[in-house]
Amino acid sequence: MRLPAVFRIKICGITRNEDHLAAGLAGADRVGLNFYPRSKRYLSAEAAGLIDLESEPKPIGVFVNADVSTICNQIQRYALAGVQLHGDEPPEFLADLPDLPIVRARRMDDRGVAAIAADLEACEAAGRLPDAVLVDAYTLGHYGGTGETVSWAGLADYRKWLGNIPLILAGGLTAENVAEAIRTVRPYGVDTASGVECSPGVKDSAKMQSFIVNAKSAFEEISRD
């Protein structure tokens, strides 16, 4: 049975225990642990060992073109509450993963939402749909975390293409723009990394607090429409 959603608000790229705790106190539903070695927010085994992952919020593992065995090992090692595929994983890859929530990240290029919908059809034909689609900005040579925003207007009719698949909006979201983004796109959830940082991998607790307060307020607003 498909889960209704994976998360409403995720703080991604956690590398320090104090940031994990601050995200929880601020009200984040999930945090993201980035296991892509080339990322500025890569979480080494040494750094991960210093984070209390038994406390809330539970972690989602972010992977870029990792193999199934690597993902399974990280799921067990860090008690991951879900998996976010942020690379070029083929549609059939999803069916080989354990029975955990899967977020399939797609970078929105000039092909628009139609290309994302075609990818979902291929996933379904291969045996497993993701539990949510995370839409990030397209930047050549990068797999996210650039701080670039998505065309919110280009996502306004996403339900026409994605149907009942929850959409998670990412890409350049900050405390200053997240409410407008939510009102424009009306996603199920939002995801931020660089927008709440002092430097890559180092979070700003005040920015996280403001981001989450503003996001929750906007979600409440659109729920009343």
Query: Quick one: pLDDT at residue 32?
Result: 97
Q: Is 88 among the catalytic positions?
A: no
φ/ψ of 168, rounded to 5, equals -105, 125
Report the domain count for the chain: 1
Encode pLDDT of 10-55 as tens digits.
999 999 999 999 999 999 999 999 999 999 999 999 999 999 999 9
Structure token digits, residue 177: 């723009």
**Which segment of 91-100, 129-138, 142-151 scores lowest on mean pLDDT?**
142-151
Measured between alpha carbons, how far is 44 from 55 in angstroms, rounded to an integer?
A: 19
Count of CA atoms in the C-beta half-sphere (13 A) of 160: 9
Question: How does pLDDT run across 194-213, given as a tens digit for each residue?
Answer: 999 999 999 999 999 999 99
Q: What is the mean pLDDT of the chain?
A: 91
What is the percent of the chain where pLDDT is above 70?
Answer: 92
The CA distances from residue 71 to 62, 101, 170, 208, 218, in Å, are 9, 13, 22, 28, 34
Q: Strand 30-34 vs strand 58-63: parallel, antiparallel, or unpaired?
A: parallel
Q: Which of these is catalytic: 19, 29, 131, 136?
A: 136
pTM score, two decimals?
0.92
For the question of residue 198 being annotated catalytic, the response is no
Q: Examine the pLDDT at 92 and tell me if it is beyond 80.
A: yes
For residue 139, what are the CA distances in angstroms to 30, 143, 175, 181, 213? 25, 8, 22, 19, 29
| Residue 219 belongs to some domain of the structure | yes
Residue 63 lies in a domain: yes
Residue 2 lies in a domain: no
Asked, for residue 110, whether it belongs to a domain, the answer is: yes
The answer as to whether 169 is a domain residue is yes
In a domain, 1, yes or no: no
> The domain containing residue 23 runs over which residues?
9-223
pLDDT at 101: 95
124-141 per-position pLDDT tens digit: 999 999 999 999 875 545
CA distance 53 to 51: 6
Confidence of residue 5 (pLDDT cuts 50, 70, 90): low
Q: Which of 12, 123, 131, 191 is catalytic?
A: 12
The CATH number of whichever domain residue 159 belongs to comes to 3.20.20.70
Q: What is the pLDDT of residue 4?
A: 47
Residues 6+ apart with CB under 8 A from 18: none
pLDDT of amino acid 142: 47
Would you say residue 143 lies in a domain? yes
Predicted local distance difference test score (pLDDT) of residue 138: 56
Say if 132 falls within a structural domain.
yes
